[in-house]
Amino acid sequence: MKTPWYKEPWAWLVFFLPFSAVVAGITTFIIANTNPDDLVVGDYYKKGKSINLEVSKVKEAQKLGMKFGLKLKNSELIIKPMGIEKTFPLLNANFYHPTLKERDFYLALTPDGSGNFRHTFDHDVSGKWQVTITSFENTWKVQSTIALPQSDFIELIPNPAEAQ
């Protein structure tokens, strides 16, 4: 006597393999559409020229002897100019998260009585960050990749190899 097709194990194996491929394809499609990557820069030539400009800003900071100390402790950010005689009326500080663009933020900081620049956060800023400090006139730039929070001062020194 012949058994029906649905009682044969080989029939279910033949059906299961294509079915699992369809499920995996649909899952991949859903994941790709719910978490899209940022687009690549369209005008790469302009971007390349702007990178050269950024490198010249870092070299200018290096020539001027710019150096800063940065510390984040108990949600208070302190940026301290180090080895610089000049006082700054305003510093621009950009914090770029390496993977989540929506966590990036910008601070315009003015000095306190001791010449340090302070800011108190009401949200968590822990993790890895690329920090860029520029003057108000945007003539020089110091940037570095750091991990926060830090109880000791992290030294930010201009390095043309890290310029972007």
Mean pLDDT along residues 101-128: 89
pTM above 0.85, yes or no: no
The number of CA neighbours under 13 Å toward the Cβ of 29 is 6
CA distance 46 to 18: 47
Quick one: pLDDT at residue 125?
A: 86
Cα dihedral 59→57→112→147 (10° resolution): -80
pLDDT, residue 11, reads: 87
Neighbour tally for 88: CB within 10 Å: 17
Distance CA 82, CA 148 (A): 20
DSSP lists the bridge partners of residue 76 as 73, 120
> What is the reported pLDDT for 42?
63
